[in-house]
C-alpha cells in the first residue's frame, strides 16, 4: 500500500476534535481511528505497540544495526480541526494539474482558484488531492500519519538501509492544543523526535509562538433606559472601550513573520455582562510577557473607571520551542540534510502558531516540525500534492539512515 492509498483510507474516519468535552480523546471518532491504526501497525509486525485509554498509540521499528544509535521518533496527530466538518470527506485526485481553476463542487459553486491561491501554480503537472468543497480534507495531519507508516514499511522492505530503533506515535487533540498534555515522553523513549505536521514541501520549523489564553468578564448594571442616567453601566460598551485600548495594528490580519499580536477570538454579552476571549502570541519571550502585562494594565484602567466591574483570567498555553532546540541543533541539521538528499531545499521558518512539538520539547523531547505537504489547512480549499507526501516519506527514511551513519 502506498502513501496515497493509506491517506485515502484514513480520511474516511471522522476525527474532529472538540474543546468543549473535557475528555481525552475529546471525541469518540478519534479512538475509533486510532484503533484502526493499531491494527495496521500490528499487521506490519511492529513491536512494543501500546494504546492507552487516552488514545495515544506508540510502536517500534526495531534497529537493524549493531551500532549504538540514538532512538529517533516520528509523531503525527489523528484529529482534524474543529473549524470545519471532517465527516464524510469525499477526496478526489486531480491528475496532472494544468494550472486552471479546479471545480470542487459545481452545485454549490465552490472552486479552487489559483487567482485566490497562487501557490497552486507551484504544483502544475502534479497530482493533487482535493475536497468536494463541503468538508476539510484532513491532510492535517492524516498525511503525516500516512507518510510515517509508508516510510516504516519502506525500511522494512529494504533492510540494506541501516537504522537504529525508530519509535512512532499517533496522538489525539492536537488541534485543540492538548495533543501533548498526556503524551508519555519517558515511555516513548526517544532522544529526539519530529512531528510530521507542517505545511508545504520543504517547510521545517523549530520556532513557534509563546502563547497565552485570556478571558475578560465585565459586569454591568442594567437599568431601564428611560431612567438610566448616572446609573446604567452597559457592559457591552465597556467591552468595546477595552477593545479599542489595544493597539489597532497588532492583530493577526496586520502581522506576519516574527510579529506578535492580540487576537479577539470571541465576544458574548448583554448589558448586564459581557465576556471577551483573547489569545496572545509572540515569538519573543520578553515581548510576550510585556503583552500579558499590558492586558493586566488595561483591565486595571477599566476597573479604575468602573470599580470592581472587570475580572481577568489569563493562562500560558505553550512556549517557543527554540530555547529547547538550540542546544541540540544537530536534530535540525539531520532534517536539513535529509531534505537536501531528497532534492528539497529546506525552508526554515517560524511557526505562527504552535505544535505538539513545542510542548513536547518542554517536556524533555526536542521535537522540530517537518512538512506533511498539505496546503490551506482547516477548510474546504485544503489540498495536498501527491509528490509532497512521497517526498515527506523519503525524508523520514533519510533521517533514520543519517542518524545511524553519523
Which residues are known catalytic residues? 79, 174
Q: Contact at 8 Å (CB) between 93 and 102?
A: no
Q: Contact at 8 Å (CB) between 158 and 150?
A: no
- Comparing CA positions, the residue from 169, 213, 173, 208 lying closest to residue 188 is 169
Nearest-angstrom CA–CA distance, 105 and 45: 41
Task: Tell me phi and psi for residue 390, to 5 degrees.
Answer: -65, -40
- Comparing CA positions, the residue from 19, 26, 140 lying closest to residue 76 is 140
Q: E-assigned strands of 163-272?
A: 166-171, 192-198, 203-205, 210-219, 261-269
- Comparing CA positions, the residue from 356, 351, 384, 350 lying closest to residue 77 is 356
Which string of DSSP letters, residue by residue, matches 120-156?
GGGGTTS-EEE--SSS---HHHHHHHHHHHHHHHHHH
Vertex 146, ends 144 and 149: CA angle to 5°? 105
Beta bridge partners of 269: 274
C-alpha cell at position 238: 465597556
C-alpha cell at position 133: 468543497
Amino acid at each position: 500500500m502506498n502513501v496515497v492509498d493509506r491517506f485515502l483510507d484514513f480520511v474516511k474516519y471522522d476525527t474532529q476534535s472538540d474543546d468543549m468535552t473535557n475528555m481525552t480523546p475529546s471525541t469518540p471518532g478519534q479512538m475509533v481511528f486510532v484503533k484502526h491504526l493499531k491494527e495496521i501497525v500490528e499487521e506490519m509486525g511492529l513491536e512494543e505497540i501500546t494504546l492507552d485509554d487516552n488514545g495515544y498509540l506508540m510502536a517500534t521499528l526495531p534497529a537493524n544495526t549493531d551500532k549504538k544509535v540514538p532512538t529517533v521518533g516520528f509523531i503525527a496527530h489523528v484529529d482534524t480541526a474543529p473549524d470545519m466538518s471532517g465527516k464524510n470527506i469525499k477526496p478526489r485526485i486531480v491528475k496532472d494539474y494544468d494550472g486552471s481553476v479546479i471545480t470542487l463542487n459545481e452545485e454549490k459553486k465552490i472552486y479552487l482558484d489559483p487567482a485566490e491561491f497562487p501557490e497552486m501554480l507551484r504544483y502544475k503537472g502534479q497530482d493533487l488531492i482535493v475536497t468536494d468543497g463541503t468538508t476539510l480534507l484532513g491532510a492535517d495531519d492524516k498525511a503525516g500519519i500516512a507518510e510515517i507508516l509508508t516510510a516504516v514499511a519502506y525500511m522494512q522492505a529494504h533492510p540494506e538501509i541501516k537504522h537504529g530503533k525508530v519509535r512512532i506515535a499517533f496522538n489525539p487533540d492536537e488541534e485543540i492544543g492538548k495533543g501533548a498534555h498526556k503524551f508519555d515522553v519517558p515511555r516513548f523513549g526517544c532522544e529526539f523526535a519530529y512531528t510530521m505536521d507542517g505545511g508545504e514541501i520543504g517547510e521545517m520549523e523549530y520556532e513557534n509562538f509563546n502563547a497565552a489564553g485570556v478571558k475578560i468578564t465585565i459586569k454591568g448594571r442594567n437599568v431601564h433606559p428611560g431612567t438610566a442616567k448616572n446609573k446604567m453601566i452597559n457592559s457591552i460598551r465597556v467591552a468595546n472601550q477595552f477593545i479599542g485600548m489595544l493597539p489597532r495594528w497588532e492583530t493577526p490580519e496586520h502581522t506576519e513573520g516574527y510579529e506578535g499580536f492580540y487576537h479577539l477570538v470571541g465576544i458574548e454579552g448583554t448589558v448586564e455582562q459581557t465576556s471577551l476571549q483573547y489569545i496572545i502570541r509572540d515569538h519573543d519571550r520578553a515581548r510576550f510577557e510585556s503583552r500579558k502585562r499590558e492586558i493586566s494594565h488595561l483591565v486595571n484602567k477599566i476597573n479604575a473607571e468602573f470599580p470592581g466591574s472587570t475580572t481577568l483570567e489569563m493562562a500560558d498555553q505553550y512556549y517557543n520551542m527554540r530555547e529547547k532546540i538550540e542546544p541540540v541543533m544537530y536534530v535540525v541539521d539531520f532534517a536539513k540534510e535529509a531534505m537536501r538528499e531528497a532534492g528539497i531545499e529546506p525552508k526554515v521558518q517560524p511557526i505562527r502558531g504552535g505544535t505538539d512539538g513545542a510542548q513536547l520539547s518542554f517536556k524533555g523531547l526536542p521535537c522540530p516540525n517537518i512538512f506533511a505537504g498539505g496546503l490551506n489547512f482547516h477548510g474546504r480549499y485544503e489540498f495536498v500534492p501527491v509528490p509532497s507526501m512521497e517526498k515527506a516519506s523519503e525524508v523520514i527514511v533519510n533521517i533514520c539512515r543519517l542518524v545511524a551513519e553519523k
